[in-house]
Amino acid sequence: MTTVAIAGSTGSIGTQTVDVVRTAPERFEVVALAAWSSIDRLVAQAVELRPKLVVIADPQGSVDDVAERLPAGTELRVGLAALAELGEVADVCVNAVVGFAGLEVTLSTLGAGRRLALANKESLIAGGPVVQAALRRPGAGHIVPVDSEHCALHQCLQTNAGGEPDRVARLVLTASGGPFRGRSRAELAGVTIDDALAHPTWSMGPKITVDSSTLMNKGLEVIEAHELFGLDYDRIEVVVHPQSIVHSMVELRDGATIAQLSQPDMRGPIGYALCWPDRLATPFGRLDWTATTRLDFEPPDLEAFPCLGLAYQAGRAGETAPAALNAANEVAVAAFLEGRIAWTTIPDVLKAVLDGHDGAVAVGVEAVVSADQRAREAARREIERTTR
Ligand code: NAD
Ligand code: MG
């Protein structure tokens, strides 16, 4: 029996994790759930799964009648310290929180020597040097990526017997291209919130869906790949693949390329991260080679989608630059979703924040949190300036 904690259980990845658990109740036991909001959904999950712990992360969250709606034997706790405890109570902690807010869960899981099934890429990207230090500590836990591209790379790299990094020539991340693939910069001027939220191949939470439309998601994933697999940025490439069937590829030094293919369904990567090195007994969809008639590939358009280039720039700068970029992006995406800025302003905000970044080193969690906060303030000022 594998015990599982789900941080961010009410979101897109969280609810799909519950789906995976339902397919193998003899194998998984959910012992803890946490969310920020969507309390009714959280309570319904608790009634079904009977975890030992339920956490409402929002310290100001309304908990009025929640305790009495929970099953007997389920403890209710509130606040960010309680959220971080999810990393310490199970064999596997699925970090499905959205944004930088997931950092404490990532660090507590690794600190407790547990498996981190990582969907919350922002914590690894923003906290890179700090997470690496946590991974190096004796008795540290390990990461199995949930992000589909990195889960694919993790699988492809298993074929590189011995895992010698110098046998790997490059990592190739695939990108669906999002809803605006093929449009020029000029054609993107008037896109709406609904346009940006209409992803062609994946159904996800709003923040990552907007990130997919700007290609910022792919940019963040380039940094995520660097942090997970240790290759430098010259050996991490992006190719647009609209069908989202090839989830990423590893090219070995003899030119052989290993790819991982499956239906675009996040329950596959979630199941992989829960079971690794074993496999789930049942698939979530199989490939039908009589229906899948083509797999297309094209280079990304860096001019229409400048966020991807900005992510390479921040990744190469290292230290707290990825934290600054990530924070600016969270602020800009929130402003876009509130209708305060145009979609095309998102990369402008990121560029302004990155250009003004002070290059602070990421010596510890405080340095990363401080870089995150300063970049948020800089992004807010930039948004104010452009909307005046
Ligand atoms: P979502 O918005 O659907 O869900 C987010 C969850 O986190 C919810 O349970 C919410 O209550 C909780 N949450 C929000 N703010 C929080 C905070 N400050 N503290 C604690 N909990 C908080 O998001 P999602 O699409 O499920 O994405 C979650 C993470 O997984 C993101 O990092 C995203 O990039 C990554 N990811 C998602 C997908 C996908 O298919 N949805 C694919 C790959 C990676
Ligand atoms: Mg992804």
Tens-place pLDDT, residues 5-55:
999 999 999 999 999 999 999 999 999 999 998 999 999 999 999 999 999
Question: Cα–Cα distance between 32 and 46 in angstroms, integer?
Answer: 9
* Residue of 6, 9, 10, 13 to test ligand 1 pocket, by largest number of atoms within 8 Å of CB: 13
Is the pLDDT at 162 greater than 70? The verdict is no
Q: Which atom of ligand 1 is nearest to the CA of 36?
A: 11
Closest listed residue to residue 261, CA positions, set 163, 169, 148? 148
Question: What is the DSSP annotation of 182-227?
Answer: T--TGGGTT--HHHHH--SS----HHHHHHHHHTHHHHHHHHHHHH
Coil, helix or strand at residue 294: coil
Pocket of ligand 1 from Cβ distances under 6 Å: 8-14, 35-38, 57, 83, 96-98, 101, 119-122, 147, 202, 204-205, 208, 266
* Residue of 6, 9, 10, 12 to test ligand 1 pocket, by largest number of atoms within 8 Å of CB: 12
Coil, helix or strand at residue 94: strand
The share of the chain scoring above pLDDT 90, in percent, equals 94
pLDDT of residue 163: 66
What is the tens place of the pLDDT at every residue in 303-339? 999 999 999 999 999 999 999 999 999 999 999 999 9
How far does residue 251's CA lie from ligand 1's centre (Å)?
31
Mean per-residue pLDDT over the chain, rounded: 96
Among protein residues, the one with the nearest Cα to ligand 1's atom 41 is: 204
pLDDT of residue 366: 98
How far does residue 35's CA lie from ligand 1's centre (Å)?
9
How far does residue 149's CA lie from ligand 2's centre (Å)?
5
pLDDT of residue 365: 98
- DSSP bridge partners of 92: 4, 115
pLDDT of residue 307: 98
Is the pLDDT at 154 greater than 90? The verdict is yes
Closest listed residue to residue 130, CA positions, set 382, 369, 363? 363
* Residue of 97, 209, 214 to test ligand 1 pocket, by largest number of atoms within 8 Å of CB: 97
pLDDT of residue 161: 62
What is the tens place of the pLDDT at every residue in 263-307? 999 999 999 999 999 999 999 999 999 987 899 999 999 999 999
Nearest-ligand number for the alpha carbon of 199: 1
Mean of the pLDDT values across residues 347-358? 98
Residue 153 DSSP code: H
Residue with tokens 């800089």: 378
What is the tens place of the pLDDT at every residue in 65-81? 899 999 999 999 999 99
pTM: 0.98
**What is the rounded end-to-end Cα distance, in angstroms, of the chain?**
57
Inter-residue contact 341 to 335 (CB < 8 Å)? yes
360: buried, middle or exposed (CB in 10 Å: 19+, 13-18, 0-12)? Answer: middle
Alpha helices in the chain, H assignment, sequence order: 12-23, 39-49, 66-69, 80-84, 103-111, 121-126, 128-136, 148-157, 193-197, 206-214, 216-229, 267-275, 307-317, 321-337, 345-355, 365-387
Nearest-ligand number for the alpha carbon of 148: 2
How far does residue 257's CA lie from ligand 1's centre (Å)?
32
